[in-house]
Amino acid sequence: MKMNRTLAYGLACLHYLGQNNGGSWNQVADISRFQGLPAPYCNKVLQALVHAGFVESQKGKGYRLSKELDDISVWALMEAFTFNGAPEAEREEIPGKLYKRLREEVNHWLVGLTVQDIVEMMKEEERYKDEKARGGAKAQSEGGAAEE
């Protein structure tokens, strides 16, 4: 499944707020700079997160999480950015049936997966890459010492 940019930015914004929240307010400029996102687009993404109920905003203060990352399902996040706004099929025609089936299947696959789970998977992958790089460097230095 191809992830659209808006969903990717929403995930990045939630990740930032989860790391820097602590109940404090965060400015769009800080979020967009840290994540490398265009500020106007970041603001639109944050507004969508507010509309979905994941984030709260206050004029002049910024944004903060209204739910913990463990309480935000990946399915709900995808719904907020990819499926919402799709027209409801008035009749059960093939496109409507296909779309309905797709939503049901994606929901089934993602049951229980939270944004925090995705963050932890990313951290684990980075740890694995670091360990692999250190192991490769160690093997090279040991191999070089054995040749001398």
Structure tokens at 122: 């990313």
71 three-state secondary structure: helix
Residue 141 to residues 37, 68, 145, Cα–Cα distance (Å): 40, 44, 6
Q: Where are the domains of the chain?
A: 5-119
CATH of domain 5-119: 1.10.10.10
Instruction: Find out whether 34 and 70 touch, Cβ atoms under 8 Å.
Output: no
Residue 62 to residues 17, 42, 121, Cα–Cα distance (Å): 11, 12, 28
Residue 129 to residues 5, 18, 136, 139, 140, Cα–Cα distance (Å): 25, 23, 10, 15, 17
Q: Is the pTM of the predicted complex or chain greater than 0.95?
A: no
64 three-state secondary structure: strand
Tens digit of pLDDT at every position of the chain (148 positions): 445 778 888 888 998 999 887 778 999 999 999 878 889 989 999 999 999 999 999 998 999 999 999 999 888 888 888 765 444 545 556 666 776 777 788 777 777 888 899 889 989 999 999 998 888 666 666 665 555 5
Distance CA 126, CA 70 (A): 20
